[in-house]
Amino acid sequence: MSVTVGLWSHAFIPGKPESVIPIADLRITNASLGDVLVDEKGRTVLKMTFERISIDEDDGNDEEGEEMKEKGASSAFVCSLVAGKTEQTVLDITLLEETEYIFEVVGKNTVYMIGNYIDQNANQPPYGESDIGSDDEGAYDLQEVSSDVEMHPDDLDGMESDASGIEDVAEGAAKTKKRARESDVAEGKPASNVEKKNKKQKVEVARQNKEEKTEKTEKAGKKDKKDKKDQAEKAEATVKELPGGLKIKDAKVGNGVGAKKGQKIEMRYIGKLADGKVFDSNTKGAPFKFRLGDGEVIRGWDEGLVGIKVGGERLLTIPPAMGYGKKGSGPIPGNATLTFEVKCVGVK
């Protein structure tokens, strides 16, 4: 199972082959033409070149039994886009970490690609965990009991009289023990030291339980007050609306100087659709980095994150025109209003 850890996007310009070396495994999900077209009728093709590898089996002397060998370069055509007909396409291509890929646009229009970094090892059980307990099956098989304990049916003769004798002895012992306890009570003998110790331990345990319960109740009360205070502070945060319909709400201001266009910022975020469904997030691992105002992200981010400070938290409500427009992208439908809960963790 793979988990998304960060957004990625890039614009590939005609006549300018570019090298892409992902810092982590990268899944490309969409390719599209931009809002400005140089050739409004022609076809634009995106070509990808990469090193081809193959798996060859050896003669069996190697314990691994396989060897990766380079076999030169291979080329593939990722997509073909035609203005007015097919201006975008959904992709599912995974580029491997620290592997070089060369992209080249054949045609006159710029091709824009978007995707996300992924962690392909998430939620996998540790090696060998599924084998735990397999050797214990059948460990107590009664068929392995020694034949020495088996008895012949003829040996059972006379067992009834012996058993009755044992029962008589057990019954007599039980009656004797019961009479002794009754006599002790009648004589008013004091409780033994063991009974006193047990009673004292029970009292101490009850006292400790009461103290722990009181402490938990106090902690829960303090946490509830803090949560209510935080909610009140967030509710007091004002919503600022920019031209174009972009809404900004500062939940936490942060520290230092606000980010300016041209600076590189590092972000955590959770992206949601209008119905609350999460379509992308970055909450752990490497933060998402990009240069503010350079068109590396959607317009709602480029304009909505100006002025954010380190430690600052914002809620961005982005209209379709400043997000992914009428056509959408991947899991994002067309004309979708998006909300992003963002937190700035670095400004450079």
Catalytic residue chosen out of the listed positions 269, 302, 318, 332: 269
Q: What is the pLDDT of residue 221?
A: 84
Render pLDDT for 175-234 as a digit per residue (tens, 0 to 9): 444 444 544 444 555 556 777 778 888 888 998 898 888 888 888 888 888 887 776 565
Mean pLDDT of 279-308: 95
Torsion on CA atoms 193, 198, 199, 203, rounded to nearest 10: 140
Map the chain to HEC letters.
CCEEEEEEEEEECCCCCEEECCCCCEEEEEEEECCCCCCCCCEEEEEEEEEEEEEEECCCCCCCCEEEEEEEEEEEEEEEEECCCECEEEEEEEECCCCCEEEEEECCCCEEEEEEEEECCCCCCCCCHHHCCHHHCCCCCHHHCCHHHCCCHHHHCCHHHHHHHHHHHHHHHHHHHHHHHHHHHHHCCCCCHHHHHHHHHHHHHHHHHHHHHHHHHHHHHHHHHHHHHHHHHHHHCCEEECCCCCEEEEEECCECCCCCCCCEEEEEEEEECCCCCEEEEECCCCCEEEECCCCCCCHHHHHHCCCCCECCEEEEEECHHHCCCCCCECCECCCCCEEEEEEEEEEC
Residue 136 or residue 99, greater confidence = 99
Q: Can you give the pLDDT at residue 54?
A: 56
**Amino acid 124: pLDDT:** 60
77 is annotated as an active-site residue: no
What are the tens digits of pLDDT across the range 125-147? 554 444 444 444 444 444 544 44
User: Does the active-site annotation cover 92?
Assistant: no
Active site residue 269: yes
Higher local confidence (pLDDT), 2 or 222: 222
Look over the chain and give the mean of its residue pLDDT values, rounded to a whole number. Answer: 80
* Predicted pLDDT of residue 291: 96
- Please give the model's pTM, rounded to 2 decimal places: 0.35
Q: Is 324 a catalytic residue?
A: yes
The residue annotated as part of the active site, out of 298, 308, 318, 332, is 298
pLDDT, tens digit (0-9, with 9 covering 90-100), for 47-85:
999 987 655 545 544 444 444 444 578 899 999 999 989
Catalytic-labelled residue, pool 12, 101, 112, 340: 340
Domains of the chain by range and CATH? 3-119 (2.60.120.340), 239-347 (3.10.50.40)
Catalytic residue among 28, 248, 265, 280: 280
How far is 306 from 262, CA to CA, in rounded Å? Answer: 10
